[in-house]
Amino acid sequence: MRKVPFVIFFGIAATLLGGTSVTYKTTALPVTLPTTSVSITSIVRLTSSPSGVVWITGRGADKVGYLLKYDGKNFTQAGGNIFADGFGREMSDDATSRLIDGQFLAQDQQLLLGSSIDWLIGGTVKTARSIQTTPTANPAIAGVCSDLNGLYFVGELPDKTALLGSGPDPSSDGNSYMSAVRSPNSSRTVGVYKFGGLIGVIAPGVSGLFCSLTPVFMTDSKYDILHVAKEAAGTFIAERSLQNTTANTTTEIVRFSASGTVSVLASTDISSSATMKAVELSTGLVSDPTGTTFAFAYRGIDSKYHVVAIRDGAMKEVASSSTLAMARAINGDWILYATGIGQNQWTTLNAANFASGAQATVASPGNADISKVGLTVASVDPEQAGIDAGGNVYFTLPGVVDRIVTATITVTPDLLTPSLDPVSSVLSGSTFVLTGKNLTQAGATTTVLLQGNPVAFATTTQGLSLTAPAAAGTYNIQVKVVGLGQNMASNTVAVTVTAAIKPAVISAITPVFTGTLQPIPTSFTAGEAVTVWGTGLSQNPLSQAPSLPLPTELARCNVVIDKTRLGRMYFASEGQVNAFLPPDLAIGPHTLSITRLDTAFDKPEATSQAITLTIVATQPVYVTFTAPEDRQEYIAVQRPDYSFMTPGNGVAAGEVVILYATGLGAKTGTVPDGDAPKAALSAQAQVAATFGNVPAQVLYAGTQPDFPGLDQINIQLPTDQTVDANGFSVLSIQVGDTTPRQFRVKVR
């Protein structure tokens, strides 16, 4: 026998998510029925419709049989007066009762069919009828089931006296009905039927429940086919046993291909199954409404009963029991099964989740939660139970005739242990990402601990993003995940934080002398002293030039002109550098940047962005100061006695005063780079002045001989000038074609 390969998974512990809780409610029976009580005889599996309809068969106190529809809130009557003496439960010993199984099946010469075309998706049953035929030793109808395309049933081929399809209504109410009846022949050739016609002729010896079938023909007449369910296009799963044998009681779960090839999935003949060693197969092979998942139970060589599910070609054990087990129903990922002694002595109703492995005990003796709704469990009847895809189980208990119980299964997953991957070294203040497993989990809160203290983080697609400490060192990091009553901690990882290389950034460049009395220029002149502002410009501590000529390095930094030329420097700190622009810079654009050197190897550590400077012919900026008398800003005017003009120390008419400035432009001689001129080199640009609207004589305008980058202007004040009421006159100065600058000067 050729085997069809597939995958088997055993051991539910590996996939078990966690605990489950079950809550219960009861719903009274009936709501709209005319009788006072209805004894439930079968709760059919739920349909796959979004409305979650449950079909229930029952018998009223008046011994009239009923077909009920339950939508989760209310019961409505879908059919009545079906059997005058009502329904009996499956396996009943009462000869007058009807065996109820599957969707709508009454065995022993009775077939109950619902004929509404939309009954499966929550519609009503249009007709529900029974056909009585001549009793014989063998039943005519062995099974009824359904899929989204309709109802199916199994029976013997009818002879000329049998009915199949539309025909007269025995109750003469004018409605048509569908029926199938047994044939008096003894060959037991059985067909599979859908409403209105035969869809397949099966080999002799077929009986049991057929679900989700397409026309399939089996040619092997050696076996009785007990249950069949469609698995996929061209294949189906079946339970079968050897027929007409007394010495060999082999029972098997098999897969049939479209060509008739059979592979044994489980067998009580251990030698014939390469995949599963079964001593006994329990009652029933069940499938879900869509025909994609199947379940059965077997007793293994370990003497335990195992509940196994089949989906997508793979078998997976979902539960095990030391007592007899029987698979009852499947919907979505939920599998409903019973455990106990069997027959009428099933003690426990259980549910298992195929995908997650979650387990729940729905009903068992001594169940305290069921007692809260006024019920006591002595035993359970699997035939009176169904489950929906959401994990809601609908059932009643033996002897309970006036209500059903809804058990809602809530899965509380176990938190998985988080684990952290090793962390590489990071820079202080930088952002880095923690990676690992189970760092965030649904229903739980994640905390990141740095040296045992919580720190802020952000969850990203890569992991947990956080900021490294500002101080260098080695730090321990751990993640905790708390929720669902659990507290899970990860391993601890160490991260080494090294001092970050701070970037050098220039924020502005201004003349050395600035104030509120004059606008800050955006252009400069060759040979001018400037201040570079920013961050990370040099190494601490600050440093100033010890002597002349000015150096090209202070506090481990350089001023770089036009990418290669080093500029002279007066002063350097982390946020400020005073520099001297080379006196031979040509008019036009030039660049200036700062390079900070490391402290160990005398190599560049960080270089700022390059700032473009525009060099112009003249751009005067005058030295100003704040007077102590009134805290106002004034131009620095030095008197002949070397004192400076203040509101209390005014200038005298006709005396010679000195002003200090930068930006007078080119000189008549060569100005040394970074050194004192040591000579009075006159400015090439013409300088003119007035005082109190009277022309003043400019005696000298050029370099200040003792300081590089500084200019001075000597002016003789006129003897006659205009003075305001406060004793101030206006000094106006113009250099070249620049806009004149005007300043208030105190006069004696």
**More confident site: 368 or 161:** 368
Distances (CA, A) of 735 to 62, 530, 614, 738: 122, 19, 18, 6
**Which of the residue ranges 4-13, 94-103, 159-168 would you say has the lowest mean pLDDT?**
4-13
End-to-end CA distance of the chain: 127
Q: What pLDDT does 265 receive?
A: 78
pTM summary value: 0.45
pLDDT cut 70: percent of the chain above it:
65
Q: What would you report as the CA-atom Rg of the chain, rounded to the nearest whole angstrom? A: 50
Q: Give residues with Cβ within 8 angstroms of 499, minimum separation 6.
A: 427, 428, 472
CATH classification of 7-412, choosing from 3.30.450.20, 2.130.10.10, 3.40.630.30, 3.40.50.720? 2.130.10.10
618-661: per-residue pLDDT in tens?
999 999 999 999 999 999 999 999 999 999 999 999 999 999 99
- Write phi, then psi, for 519 (nearest 5 degrees): -70, 150
As a whole number of angstroms, the distance between CA 576 and CA 529 comes to 13
Residue 405 has pLDDT above 70, yes or no: yes
Q: State the Cα torsion 580-583-584-589 to the nearest 10°.
A: 60
Residue 189 has pLDDT above 60, yes or no: no
Q: What pLDDT does 706 receive?
A: 95
Q: Give residues with Cβ within 8 angstroms of 60, minimum separation 6.
A: 33, 35, 37, 38, 39, 66, 86
Q: Give residues with Cβ within 8 angstroms of 245, minimum separation 6.
A: none
Is the bond preceding 549 in cis, omega lying within 30 degrees of 0? yes
Mean pLDDT of the chain: 74
What is the mean predicted confidence (pLDDT) over 70-89?
48
Q: What pLDDT does 98 receive?
A: 33
**More confident site: 149 or 510:** 510
Q: What pLDDT does 72 receive?
A: 62
As a whole number of angstroms, the distance between CA 379 and CA 679 comes to 118
Q: What pLDDT does 443 receive?
A: 82
Fold of 423-496: Immunoglobulin-like (2.60.40)
Residue 35 has pLDDT above 60, yes or no: no
**More confident site: 316 or 660:** 660
What is the mean predicted confidence (pLDDT) over 52-78?
56
Fold of 621-746: Immunoglobulin-like (2.60.40)
What is the mean predicted confidence (pLDDT) over 581-589?
96
Amino acid at site 620: P
Fold of 505-615: Coagulation Factor XIII; Chain A, domain 1 (2.70.50)
CA angle 313, 314, 318 (to 5 degrees): 140
Q: Give residues with Cβ within 8 angstroms of 174, minimum separation 6.
A: none
* Region(s) of the chain under CATH 2.60.40: 423-496, 621-746
What is the mean predicted confidence (pLDDT) over 84-111?
32
**Which of the residue ranges 363-372, 561-570, 574-583, 712-721 would you say has the lowest mean pLDDT?**
363-372
Of the pLDDT bands very low, low, confident and very high (cuts 50, 70, 90), residue 258 is low
What is the mean predicted confidence (pLDDT) over 183-200?
43
As a whole number of angstroms, the distance between CA 50 and CA 47 comes to 9
Q: What pLDDT does 3 receive?
A: 28
* Region(s) of the chain under CATH 2.130.10.10: 7-412
Q: What pLDDT does 101 receive?
A: 31
693 φ/ψ sector (left φ>0, alpha ψ -120 to 50, else beta): left
Of the pLDDT bands very low, low, confident and very high (cuts 50, 70, 90), residue 104 is very low
Most confident of 308-322, 355-369, 480-494, 583-597: 583-597
Q: What pLDDT does 249 receive?
A: 59
